[in-house]
Amino acid sequence: MANLNLVQAINLALIQEMERDERVLLLGEDVGINGGVFRVTEGLQARFGARRVVDTPLAESGIIGTSIGLAMGGLRPVPEIQFEGFLGPAYDQICSHAARMRTRTRSAFTVPLTIRVPVGGGIHAPELHSDSPEAIYAHQPGIKVVMPSSPYDAKGLLISAIRDPDPVIYFEPKRIYRAFREEVPEDEYTIPIGKARLVCEGTDLTIVSWGSSVIQCMQAIEKSNRSIELIDLRTIYPMDIDAVTESVRKTGRCVVVHEAPRTCGLGAEVAATIMEHCFLHLEAPVQRVSGFDTIMPYYKLELSYMPDASRIGGAIEDALTF
Amino acid sequence: MANLNLVQAINLALIQEMERDERVLLLGEDVGINGGVFRVTEGLQARFGARRVVDTPLAESGIIGTSIGLAMGGLRPVPEIQFEGFLGPAYDQICSHAARMRTRTRSAFTVPLTIRVPVGGGIHAPELHSDSPEAIYAHQPGIKVVMPSSPYDAKGLLISAIRDPDPVIYFEPKRIYRAFREEVPEDEYTIPIGKARLVCEGTDLTIVSWGSSVIQCMQAIEKSNRSIELIDLRTIYPMDIDAVTESVRKTGRCVVVHEAPRTCGLGAEVAATIMEHCFLHLEAPVQRVSGFDTIMPYYKLELSYMPDASRIGGAIEDALTF
Amino acid sequence: MCVRALNAPRYTSVMPIQTVFKAEIERISILDEHCQFDEKLGAGLIPDEDLVRLYEAMSSCRYLDEVAFKLQRSGRMGTYPQNMGQEATSLGAAYALRGDDWLVTCYRENCGLFWRGVPMESILLHWMGDERGNAMPAAHYATPIAVPIGTQMLHATGLAWASKYRGESRIACTFFGDGASSEGDFHEAANFAANLDIPVVFCCQSNSWAISVPQRIQCSAPTVAQRGIAYGMPCMQVDGNDIFACVYAVKNAAARARESSRPTFIEMVTYRLGDHTTADDARRYRDQAEVDLWKLRDPLLRTRKLLEAKRLWDSSKEDAMRQRIEVTVNAAVARAEEIAAPPTSDVFDHTFAQLPPDLVRQRDSLQTHSLAGEQAVHTEGH
Amino acid sequence: MCVRALNAPRYTSVMPIQTVFKAEIERISILDEHCQFDEKLGAGLIPDEDLVRLYEAMSSCRYLDEVAFKLQRSGRMGTYPQNMGQEATSLGAAYALRGDDWLVTCYRENCGLFWRGVPMESILLHWMGDERGNAMPAAHYATPIAVPIGTQMLHATGLAWASKYRGESRIACTFFGDGASSEGDFHEAANFAANLDIPVVFCCQSNSWAISVPQRIQCSAPTVAQRGIAYGMPCMQVDGNDIFACVYAVKNAAARARESSRPTFIEMVTYRLGDHTTADDARRYRDQAEVDLWKLRDPLLRTRKLLEAKRLWDSSKEDAMRQRIEVTVNAAVARAEEIAAPPTSDVFDHTFAQLPPDLVRQRDSLQTHSLAGEQAVHTEGH
Ligand SMILES: Cc1ncc(C[n+]2csc(CCOP(=O)(O)OP(=O)(O)O)c2C)c(N)n1
Ligand SMILES: Cc1ncc(C[n+]2csc(CCOP(=O)(O)OP(=O)(O)O)c2C)c(N)n1
Ligand SMILES: [Mg+2]
Ligand SMILES: [Mg+2]
């Protein structure tokens, strides 16, 4: 066991997978000698050489497109996109190719690719460095999407993602890169993709969240005097519908919390799914606490945009007093 | 009044807006002498010259990126992207720039841009020619998204889109480009963006749909012996929440129908919104009839993927017998 | 070939004007449209017996085009892009490459793919709207047909990189149109290959048109070949209707790639004799005179003339070949048409290696529904 | 300049090898790092009184960099990208252009923007996390700071096209880094401009690095300038630390753009003397020796030397200037810091020209909430 923050947990997972499997290679902007702008790949080029940790030209479509070719050619590339705001240029390669190659070729070609991307706000960064596009990729069939909220999960989910035979987008909530440490086993372990985590049990209301918002949810729960169950999805797609619906059937009330804009965010999917599966158990409408349907503001106002304990608390009240 | 199909109605709207406003220009792949691959811009280059109807290089990001510049420079560009499957390369310019320019510059720069894009399946086309990405752009703050389902709406919505001071994606359901004709006024008229259309009234259940699925919904209603209200959203974002919720408050039941994959599709947003606004009126969970969470299949199976009258009928039954 | 005569350091003190870079591009032609043959470059390049086979390969691809066109017109196939006029480009490459080099094509390279062994019915099946047409067997080292223009070259770069990573000598050769060379992904693929030393041969099918858009709108420079100069890549132009020139250029490029892991850009100047696809009517935008001119430059025509001049061919051989081809192609069509539509559950089966629970639910719901729905689907389809 | 010596038709009958294209690229240097000045090219280019003003402009931009760095380190500003070492490039362009030509920059062109009249506090405000810093007044013909690398050049192409469309003589000049030249959007912007005859001047800040990635990974070709050859564009390399060479090149390119609506590609060879941004530590990836070498080539140093040689400058003038600059910059900082955070409702106000009803609801919900929430926000922010 080691006491690690999220950055260190990811770094450890990368080391272990690279040692275990020669097919794993890292590529991206500044991932080499610089160790990535968040130092997630720190020391890896020194350890594994420039053949396995590759600085690429500044071109996101190029990074993902060549990674698709690398994967079709039998390797297990782990490209990094520097910020979620720069996934845009790679959108086409992700959605038109990575997501479709297996179905297009009836599995003759597959794309075992793990795209690592820092995500979300709260670090006082410039524009396009604080967005939350997880719903975009959840809407694209053929890709899995995961987002850890703790160092322990970060390691286990990353190992699962790298070993997964299909493309996975692995979002790293940058706000909690170094926010806290926890015990992380030194041995390799996996956390199944598609399984949520029950953070804490409760009977009055269920909160569903993921990524760094989980921390805000825990703060809200601490401040509340009700018995609240918190589910961290961990996997955005395929969502653990059973975990969510089981909980809501028990509590009858639900708040879903995310940073992304509300319209067509994953919160809508969670709410719609709950309605479909738990209609007769619901005692209040599912409440969404989310970013607004506006551009994530520059950092002076970013904390007003992001769900915080107080807004979550308000939604909890609304759900409980409905 | 003229009896026009959807292609002709759009063509007429383009002519009228170009005659009215010198700032309007068209650009895209094959929009010139060829009149677009669907002939929507037929005759326009002959009429307005190669200065105002411009064949561009084969580069979607280039088409949208230069259109953003044209719009920032005071013009009203109407770029065409040949198929929705080729919006991918332009995703970044749309979401990182067109959608953000106004908020980024506190309205010093604006992007009055109308992106015309054929959308949806049902025409036996190759892959990436039959998708429905409307939810992707509905999730992006700063863009409006519209989708007509009839020649009359097509003309009025396009004129509104071109005159709108903000970027609009105008999706053209290609399955009904030539499926039917209807009376379309020769005079120019607008249909407000953000307002749904009540296609037919009913008391037992509300169907919410848009684009060519509206036709399938009408077929399902015809086959049904219940009193069903059909709402055609016409605008995807900003959605006419009042029209939807008013109807569902009356009927207590709702089916939402779209071609796009289910997870994080607009159906989820419609369902979540209805739950938020009409919880106490709902007598059954909102039913979603949609594409599956798989890649739209090649055309041999496309009709199994797309909602048809029979699947819609099934959902109507499920909602009514819940 | 692009010559880097000067390789000045980026910061120098020569004032005020110094030439820091020079390049020139050569055009290669070995068998021209008048059946003139250059012995110096051409000798030994393609043995006679191979030339006969290559001619038959081009002819049979050409015949498939005719048949496919009719299939589409009679509603037995969806949109189909004819290859007519461009057969020598991909065939020359397939002939010059090793059988296990990656061939990363677009949709107008049937001739090269068939040479590789990709069955005709796969290509037909694809355009009949069936994914199984794209299930390329591993042995062919061919990637699926690429519908989104200009995107597949990045996969070539990745595939070649994967080989290099493993220390294999396999390279990749990718085909794309002049229109495709306008896409940003082309730039990124070439730039990755050039800067990361990845062994890729970039073959541009420079065929004057991208649907209705003339080449000057994609590339107003004197040559498309000079796009390669941007990356410091060796680059050249060849007569793309000259199978010898295509073989020559790809052979050289492949050797360079294999030996020094360096990419090459080849502009193959050719012409699309048919419409863009069966959904297109080229008469709307181009003159018949231009088409007629290019008909004289047809790669089949000149190859046949050379064979005849070498007394390797005559009209009776032509007739016999035509009969063989008809049998082959018609059999392929029959096989493709025999393949029934897959069950609707097939929509799900290749989304992921393992179907997530909710997709299983969705698949099951489809099965419940399909009994009722199959009828409706059938009616609507016609 | 790129010379198109040969302009062969795309299909010819010269066999077997014909040179179809030739190009060469020139490098321009007028005032070198040893303060050697070329009278032939340099005479009359920049009148003495202007040179003094340009020197002061560079010096004040440099001082702002120092101050901004400290502001960031003391938590009074977010991430900031220093411009240090690259001042001559954008300033040379701004000086050479008309005041109403579009200047479409990235984030390392403060010096050119200030010359245009963009207030220092706007730039500061932007990096302090406030959109109002990007509310560029129309009179400056400057676009907002561009964070997504390599994307803004397309806007330049569109802006210049809009002017051409209206028959105006305004052109656009866009700046981007060597890293940015790897992005597909660069290719598309240059290709649109070249093929649609749009008057754009493309200026690449070729500064050896893109964060930690050395230039050979962005462009292993001998020059970045040759990227322009791909588009048949006139292209050249200049010493980017030489304000005269920058002015010369942009002046020529702007004249060409205005007269014949043709774009130009200019590689300005320069160097980022500071870290990439305040979030970076360049010592991790580059040698101090390299930095030291480039310090000798500093654009400020050589300009000052020339002024001194011309007896237009001395240390007392330098001291006086330093005092002026400190006053100006400090006042700008004070003004920027005085600007309070906007009300939270500001998040909504510029999403659309008119706020849709649901956004009004969301804004109102925020207001209800903010009384309770403001406290929490405040605590978390620190
Ligand atoms: C990204 C993308 N944009 C547009 C299209 C539509 N489209 C199909 S083929 C084609 C023209 C291709 O021209 P070129 O690359 O020159 O190839 P050619 O057909 O001439 O062989 C276009 C615009 C597409 N398939 N993909
Ligand atoms: C699309 C995109 N990808 C990545 C980044 C992160 N990033 C910011 S600056 C930079 C390097 C830019 O290098 P260059 O274009 O050479 O400009 P320079 O900073 O050297 O002036 C990177 C990778 C970004 N802002 N946008
Ligand atoms: Mg072409
Ligand atoms: Mg740089």
Q: How is residue D240 written in tokens?
A: 């980017």
Choosing among C213, C350, C374, which should be mutated to test the B contact, i.e. which has the most B CBs within 10 A? C213
Neighbours of chain B (3+ CB pairs under 8 A): A, C, D
Domain closes at, from B158, B184, B210:
B184
Query: Do both B243 and B98 map to the same domain?
Result: no
Query: Do both B158 and B100 map to the same domain?
Result: yes
Q: Is residue D115 part of a domain?
A: yes
The per-residue pLDDT string of chain C (382 residues; one tens digit each, 9 = 90 and over) reads: 444 445 556 787 788 999 999 999 999 999 999 999 999 999 999 999 999 999 999 999 999 999 999 999 999 999 999 999 999 999 999 999 999 999 999 999 999 999 999 999 999 999 999 999 999 999 999 999 999 999 999 999 999 999 999 999 999 999 999 999 999 999 999 999 999 999 999 999 999 999 999 999 999 999 999 999 999 999 999 999 999 999 999 999 999 999 999 999 999 999 999 999 999 999 999 999 999 999 999 999 999 999 999 999 999 999 999 999 999 999 999 999 999 999 999 999 999 999 999 999 999 987 765 544 444 433 333 3
**Higher-pLDDT residue of D377, C158:** C158
Query: Do both D324 and D351 map to the same domain?
Result: no
pLDDT, position D375: 42
Query: Do both A38 and A176 map to the same domain?
Result: yes
pLDDT at A67 over 80: yes
Question: Which of B80, B82, B129 maximizes ligand 1 atoms within 8 Å of its Cβ, making it the mutation to test the pocket?
Answer: B82
Name residues whose C-beta falls within 8 Å of residue D265's C-beta, 6 or more positions apart in sequence. D190, D202, D204, D225, D227, D228, D231, D233, D234, D235, D236
Say yes or no for a CB contact (<8 Å) between D14 and C27. yes
Query: Do both B172 and B224 map to the same domain?
Result: no
Give bridge partners of residue A298 from the DSSP assignment. none
Name residues whose C-beta falls within 8 Å of residue D343's C-beta, 6 or more positions apart in sequence. none
Q: Is residue C4 part of a domain?
A: no
Instruction: Give the CB-side neighbour count of residue B95, counting CA atoms within 13 A.
Output: 25
pLDDT at D370 over 60: no
Give bridge partners of residue D169 from the DSSP assignment. none
Say yes or no for a CB contact (<8 Å) between D21 and C216. no
Query: Do both D222 and D118 map to the same domain?
Result: yes
SS3 D313: coil
Say yes or no for a CB contact (<8 Å) between B70 and D158. yes
pLDDT, position C378: 37
pLDDT, position D3: 45
Neighbours of chain D (3+ CB pairs under 8 A): A, B, C
Query: Do both B313 and B172 map to the same domain?
Result: no
Distances (CA, A) of D134 to B104, B214, D108, D125: 6, 43, 15, 8
Query: Do both C176 and C52 map to the same domain?
Result: yes
Domain closes at, from B184, B205, B236:
B184
Name residues whose C-beta falls within 8 Å of residue C75's C-beta, 6 or more positions apart in sequence. none
> D107 alpha carbon to ligand 2 midpoint, in Å?
10
Q: Which residues numbered 307-366 in C keep a CB inside 8 Å of some CB on D?
A: none
**What number is the average pLDDT over the span D145-154?**
97
Residues D185-204 pLDDT 10s: 999 999 999 999 999 999 99
- Please give the angle made by the CA atoms of A284, B257 and B229, to the nearest 5 degrees: 80
The closest of D50, D115, D59, D116 to D84, measured between CA atoms, is D59
**What number is the average pLDDT over the span D82-110?**
98
Query: Do both C258 and C356 map to the same domain?
Result: no
Query: Do both D320 and D354 map to the same domain?
Result: no
Query: Do both D161 and D274 map to the same domain?
Result: yes
The closest of D19, D353, A216, C21 to B164, measured between CA atoms, is D353
Q: Is residue A257 part of a domain?
A: yes
pLDDT band at D4 (very low <50, low <70, confident <90, very high): very low
Query: Do both A60 and A86 map to the same domain?
Result: yes
- Number of structural domains chain C divides into: 2
pLDDT, position D12: 76
Say yes or no for a CB contact (<8 Å) between A72 and C143. yes
B128 reaches A (C-beta below 8 A) = yes
Q: Is residue A84 part of a domain?
A: yes
- Ligand 1 atom having least distance to the Cα of C151: 1
DSSP state string for C157-194: HHHHHHHHHTT----EEEEEETTGGGSHHHHHHHHHHH
> B38 alpha carbon to ligand 1 midpoint, in Å?
15
Q: Is residue D362 part of a domain?
A: yes
Say yes or no for a CB contact (<8 Å) between C221 and D206. no
Give bridge partners of residue A255 from the DSSP assignment. A207, A287
Quote the CA–CA distance of D218 and D180 in Å, as a whole number: 8
CATH number at residue A133: 3.40.50.970
Query: Do both B168 and B209 map to the same domain?
Result: no
Catalytic site includes residue A129: yes
CATH number at residue D208: 3.40.50.970
Query: Do both D245 and D352 map to the same domain?
Result: no
Instruction: Look up the domain containing A22 and give its range.
Output: 2-184
Domain closes at, from A156, A184, A212:
A184
Omega before B238 within 30 of 0, i.e. cis: yes
Query: Do both D131 and D105 map to the same domain?
Result: yes
Q: How is residue C214 written in tokens?
A: 């003339």
Query: Do both D253 and D363 map to the same domain?
Result: no
Query: Do both A166 and A84 map to the same domain?
Result: yes
Out of D154, D155, D162, whose CB is closest to B74? D162
Distances (CA, A) of D280 to C101, C156, C361, D145: 42, 34, 49, 19
Query: Which residues of chain D have a CB within 8 Å of the CB of B104?
Result: 131, 134, 144
CB D64 within 8 A of CB D329: yes
Give bridge partners of residue C103 from the DSSP assignment. C142, C173
The model carries a pTM of 0.97
Q: How is residue B248 written in tokens?
A: 């569902």
Instruction: Look up the domain containing D366 and give its range.
Output: 346-381
Overall residue count recorded for chain A in this entry:
322
Question: Which of B30, B38, B58 maximizes ligand 1 atoms within 8 Å of its Cβ, making it the mutation to test the pocket?
Answer: B58
Query: Do both A34 and A76 map to the same domain?
Result: yes
Residues D291-301 pLDDT 10s: 999 999 999 99
Q: Is residue A192 part of a domain?
A: no
Query: Do both A161 and A269 map to the same domain?
Result: no
pLDDT, position D366: 78
pLDDT, position C368: 64
The closest of B81, B70, B17 to B47, measured between CA atoms, is B17
Report yes or no for ipTM above 0.85: yes
Q: Is residue C19 part of a domain?
A: no
pLDDT, position D11: 80
DSSP state string for C223-270: -SGGGGGGGT--EEEEETT-HHHHHHHHHHHHHHHHHH---EEEEEE-
Could you say which residues of chain B have pLDDT below 50? none
Q: Is residue C11 part of a domain?
A: no
pLDDT, position C371: 45
Query: Do both C305 and C223 map to the same domain?
Result: yes
Query: Do both A176 and A204 map to the same domain?
Result: no
Query: Do both B18 and B164 map to the same domain?
Result: yes
Quote the CA–CA distance of C153 and A69 in Å, as a whole number: 9
Distance from CA of B222 to the nearest CA of D (A): 33
Quote the CA–CA distance of D177 and D179 in Å, as a whole number: 5
Q: Is residue D70 part of a domain?
A: yes
Out of B293, B295, B303, whose CB is closest to C362? B293
pLDDT, position D163: 98
Q: Is residue A256 part of a domain?
A: yes
pLDDT, position D58: 98
- Number of structural domains chain A divides into: 2
pLDDT, position D13: 72
- Ligand 1 atom having least distance to the Cα of B88: 1
Query: Do both C252 and C369 map to the same domain?
Result: no
Q: Is residue A62 part of a domain?
A: yes
CATH number at residue A299: 3.40.50.920
